[in-house]
Structure 1
Amino acid sequence: MAGETALRILVADDNEINQRVIRGMLEHRGHEVDSVHNGEEVLCALAANPYDLVIMDCMMPSMDGYESTRKIRASKNQGFDPDIPVLAITALAAPGDREKCLACGMDDYISKPVVADYLFEKLDTLFGELEPSDSRAATAVHAPSPPPADILDSLKDRLATDLKHWRQELQRLSNTDGLQALGQLAHKIRGAADVFGEQALSKAAENLENCARNNDGKSAPGLKSRLTEEIRHLESRLHPPRRKHD
């Protein structure tokens, strides 16, 4: 079972917070984890090191998870196993997503935000009858999975830094810079908001992301302003103004 055997896992996600949350879950169960930001880096990492599993975000810049998986499955004589298990993660979880993942060669998928218990159920399914791919001896793992809050608390400073950066990016991107750039930024913000359970921020980001997907330039300015407002609200909660002493 995956919960009893230490695996070497590659996590691919362009969102640093998502990376660190998933990594924290896995490492607290005793697994060895590396992380990369896009599909091109996945291929390089697989060629350089032996891994038992790739956890692959579907939507990444440069090369997304679908294309990366197709290249893995089609690879020959590149120094890595073309049949390595690939577990997809997606923020959409729309009807047909699982079929799309399987069609490009992925083994299964889970939706964001990633829930620890569900993640380990998937690992148990994938590795219930499998051994690690290299010659390392299986390592007994007894440490319980920590509450997600423990991991999230350690990432609040990172979230505050990202919020400031995203707010500045929203201000920098004019409505003539292209809806694609706005949509990509909104997608990244939504992923982090979902991890922290920030529903208002997630919804504002989702609205702008859908606007970009539908090429709705008319609605973009108002939705961008709304998303900026929600970012400011969360920033103020993370770092409330200090009261002046009388």
Structure 2
Amino acid sequence: QVYPEPQNDDDQRVGFPRVLCVDDQVFNVEALDILLTVCSVNTDVQMHYAYGGQQALMQVEAQSDLNAYQVIFMDCNMPFMDGYQATRRIRQLYQERGLPQPYIAAITGHGEEMYVEIAADAGMNQVIVKPASKKQIDA
């Protein structure tokens, strides 16, 4: 499977929230982008994308402190590094840098209580069950 290349960090609009969407399936990233557009969320934000937990962590590590992500939509089930592991590492990195923690929303096909607890234990703020709805994103 071929994934698009991650974006470089040349989008430096000051004052616009930075959002990272993480999913190993390109279709899911594109669907989330469309949903955010429908919700009018991404008109005033800097959208960035990663196609796996490892790539997300690399993008977060590469950010300067002034360009840290404020919101991360994180798929939970990805190969190599799942969303739970990536979330723990991202939380640790933000803490080490003394940055305000990002809001991390889990994106998963599992809405059962067990998975909600796993997401919370990993440090995720919210669980959005796929397919995500406008109401869930607005929350």
1:39 aligns with 2:53: yes
Within 2, Cα distance between the matches of 1:80 and 1:55? Answer: 21
**Matching residue within 10, 29, 46 for 1:19:** 29
Structure 1 residues without counterparts, runs of 5 or longer: 122-246
Alpha-carbon distance in structure 1 between the residues aligned to 2:49 and 2:24:
9
Aligned CA RMSD, in angstroms, stands at: 2.3
Partner-residue secondary structure (3-state), 1:60: coil
Structure 1 ranges of 4+ moved more than 4 A = 76-80
Kindly indicate whether the alpha-carbon contact (under 8 Å) linking 1:66 and 1:101 is maintained by their aligned counterparts in 2: yes
Q: Which has the higher contact order (CA 8 A, sep 6+)?
A: 2
**How many positions carry a matched residue from both structures?**
117
* TM norm structure 2: 0.74
Structure 2 counterpart of 1:154: none
Q: Indicate which of 70, 74, 89 corresponds to 1:52.
A: 70
Contact 1:73 1:82 in 2 (8 A): no
For residues 80 and 69 of structure 1, do their structure 2 counterparts lie closer, same or farther at Cα, with a shift above 3 Å needed? farther
Kindly state the Cα deviation for residue 40 of structure 1 after the two structures are TM-superposed: 1.0
**Pairing 1:190-205 to 2, within 5 Å after superposition:** none
**Offset at residue 34 of structure 1 (A):** 1.1
Q: Secondary structure at the match of 1:89?
A: strand
Relative to structure 1, the CA distance from residue 77 to residue 100 in structure 2 (aligned partners, 3 Å threshold; closer, same or farther) is closer
The answer to whether the aligner puts 1:61 opposite 2:105 as a matched pair is no
Higher fraction of strand: 2
Q: TM-score, normalised by structure 1?
A: 0.43
1:92 counterpart residue number: 110
Contact 2:87 2:123 in 1 (8 A): yes
Pair 1:10-2:20 in alignment: yes
Amino acid at match of 2:49: S
- State the percentage of identical aligned residues: 28
Q: 1:104 to 1:44 in 2, by over 3 A?
A: same
Distance 1:78 1:44, change over 3 A: farther
Give, in whole Å, the separation in 2 of the partners of 1:57 and 1:46: 16
* Bigger CA radius of gyration: 1
Return the offset for 1:23.
1.1
